[in-house]
């Protein structure tokens, strides 16, 4: 797992099993858990890019490992991966999946676990689990939250693969760009987001998570707290009123 700075307020976390198309295994789970702990403590990082090294974003759970575990072990591992996905949602940073190549099965669920998704025009998405005789082990609720209009059920029940352009059309990704410009465009988008104060980004992300979990109504309290105790918000309001640029 590679964690590296990209620019002011932006870092990149890269899956680092390129020879295995960044398939998810126990070692990858260990590395991601450690990396997420580090990221959460980075007070100067406001946006985290999540990418894969090599030809794929992530080809999903490691099939070779899956064939060697018992049913009980598989369930325990699935619960572990579900918790890792929730840890991304709980990060104070805005997270952005940068998808090049395949994002399949658990790899698609990893992309869905991020706040935003940008893909190259050669990206492919899919949930092939049903064609192998089982269901996706985690992330179905979040998938159905992101995709409305029956698109989530389509992916779940057919196992078919989507081209990046269709993924954009149905709302699975936010942007599609040429493969040669993916890294540069993602970094520029992240830098744009990172211009906002961390407090506002984190509060907004927390409110969205609360709404998704069935607990709406936190917006007014967070808004009041920002104006009551938020130094960054107060300074930016003053700068706006005085028509000066805020650092």
Active-site residues, by number, are 129
What is the residue whose two structure tokens read 């797992």?
1
- For 91-133, strand residue ranges (E) read 94-99, 102-104, 116-120, 124-126
Beta-bridge mates of residue 61: 24
* C-alpha 35 chain-centroid distance: 14
Distances (CA, A) of 214 to 56, 74, 219, 223: 34, 29, 14, 19
Closest listed residue to residue 16, CA positions, set 34, 40, 37, 43? 34
CA distance 121 to 101: 9
How distant is the alpha carbon of residue 18 from its chain centre? 19
Q: What are the structure tokens assigned to 182, written together?
A: 């993916």
For residue 7, the cross-strand partners are 10
């Amino acid at each position: 797992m590679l964690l590296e700075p990209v620019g002011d307020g932006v870092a990149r976390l890269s899956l680092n099993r390129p020879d295995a198309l960044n398939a998810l295994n126990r070692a990858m789970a260990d590395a991601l858990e450690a990396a997420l702990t580090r990221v959460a403590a980075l007070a100067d990082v406001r946006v985290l890019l999540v990418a894969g090294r090599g030809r794929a974003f992530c080809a999903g759970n490691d099939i070779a490992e899956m064939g060697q575990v018992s049913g009980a072990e598989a369930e325990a591992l699935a619960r572990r991966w579900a918790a890792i996905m929730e840890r991304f949602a709980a990060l104070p940073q805005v997270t952005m999946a940068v998808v090049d190549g395949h994002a399949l099965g658990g790899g698609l669920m990893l992309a869905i676990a991020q706040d935003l998704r940008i893909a190259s025009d050669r990206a492919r998405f899919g949930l092939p689990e049903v064609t192998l005789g089982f269901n996706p082990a985690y992330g179905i609720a979040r998938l159905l939250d992101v995709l409305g209009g029956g698109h989530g059920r389509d992916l779940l029940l057919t196992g078919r693969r989507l081209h990046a352009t269709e993924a954009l059309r149905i709302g699975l990704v936010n942007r599609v760009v040429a493969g040669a410009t993916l890294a540069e465009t993602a970094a520029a988008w992240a830098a744009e987001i990172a211009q906002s104060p961390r407090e506002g980004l984190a509060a907004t992300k927390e409110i969205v998570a609360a709404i998704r979990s069935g607990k709406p109504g936190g917006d007014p309290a967070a808004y009041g707290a920002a104006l009551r105790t938020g130094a960054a918000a107060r300074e930016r309001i003053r700068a706006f009123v005085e028509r000066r640029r805020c650092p």
